[in-house]
């Protein structure tokens, strides 16, 4: 990994607040459609993908059938460490957290990475 200089300092609590603010900016017509999903903040992603900013784990709404009942919530995780390492300012973190949250929520709706890239959420 390249040395990008000093890493931006931000407590986990501050980062969690930015993620919550990003969630608050999701249009209500979309959040009403979200079903059985929880959002978490973790400090670091899995060791095999150290630059991962976010991860969606679950069954997208488009793939749920009659069998879908009584299951644990889908999980969206936003990773603080890689986000802070790639950002130069608090404003960058705000923007990146919002992009990451939208990206992972899109997966919940069954939108794949290729479509997200086409929409500008690379």
DSSP state of 26: S
Residue 30's CATH number: 3.30.2010.20
Residue 86 lies in a domain: yes
Q: How many domains would you assign to the chain? A: 1
2-11, 25-34, 50-59, 63-72, range with greatest mean pLDDT: 50-59
Residue 4 lies in a domain: no
Domain of residue 79, residue span? 18-58+73-119
How much is the pTM? Answer: 0.84
Give the C-alpha distances (Å, rounded to integers) separating 54 from 6, 50, 116: 22, 11, 14
pLDDT tens, 4-15? Answer: 556 788 899 999
pLDDT tens, 70-104? Answer: 888 999 999 999 999 999 988 899 899 988 988 89
Burial 40-51 (b: 16+ CB within 10 A, else e): ebeeebeeeeee
pLDDT at 1: 46
């Amino acid at each position: 990994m390249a040395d990008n200089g000093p890493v931006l300092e931000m407590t986990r609590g501050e980062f969690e607040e930015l993620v919550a603010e990003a969630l608050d900016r999701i249009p209500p017509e979309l959040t009403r459609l979200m079903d059985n999903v929880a959002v978490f903040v973790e400090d670091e992603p899995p060791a095999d993908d150290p630059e991962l900013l976010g991860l969606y784990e679950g069954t997208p709404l488009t793939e749920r059938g009659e069998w879908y009942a009584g299951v644990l919530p889908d999980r969206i995780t936003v990773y603080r460490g890689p986000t802070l390492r790639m950002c130069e300012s608090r404003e960058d973190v705000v923007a990146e957290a919002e992009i990451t949250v939208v990206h992972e929520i899109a997966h919940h709706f069954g939108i794949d990475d290729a479509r997200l890239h086409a929409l500008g959420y690379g």
